[in-house]
Structure 1
Amino acid sequence: MKIDLENMSLKELRDLHKAVGRQIDSYEAKKKEQAMAAAQQVAEEHGFSLKELLGGGKAAKTTVAPKYANPDNMSETWTGRGRQPRWVKGHLDAGGSIDDLLIK
């Protein structure tokens, strides 16, 4: 199939663009559906449902109590998870211990 894009009007090009976009979306949806069916089948072969394996969605966020505090500004705290705040890095770079920052 050869399409002469050079001789198409702007309206024809836009219509073609929309049609191609719809076809791509349809193709991706069909492939995703096939992949989900295949994943479900494999999960069932192992005695699980796909929902069980995937955990049924994101877990609810829980609040974690802070474990460390900045001795210079006690309102700055850190749970010990994720990236270290600058004040923690600064303390460690200055030769301090992480245990110095523990909230007692």
Structure 2
Amino acid sequence: MNEKLNELSEFELAHLIDTAQKTLRERQLGKRKEVAAQIKELAASIGYAVELTEISSEKTAGSSRKGSKVAVKYRNPENPKHQWTGRGMQPKWLRELIEQGRTLDEFTVA
């Protein structure tokens, strides 16, 4: 089979791939319909009616939303690696310093 594929031109290969993909989609759709009919038939045999909905493999508009970088609002002057954006819970280093009597304003980034 590999030898036969090597003999095809690029156009013929592209056409073969397109045809194969269409055939595969048609078979998959046929299989889905067949399984859906079997499910409905089985449900009806025990007195139930079912409605099947297709699960979309595409992302919804909201799910593709990516979080953006948030600017640092607070930084530990003694250790610049310790920083906080002001969102979420206060980090441990900041809580400990505030418990020692320091204020949040001391760590505000200018």
TM-score relative to the length of structure 2 = 0.45
> Between Structure 1 and Structure 2, whose CA radius of gyration is higher?
2
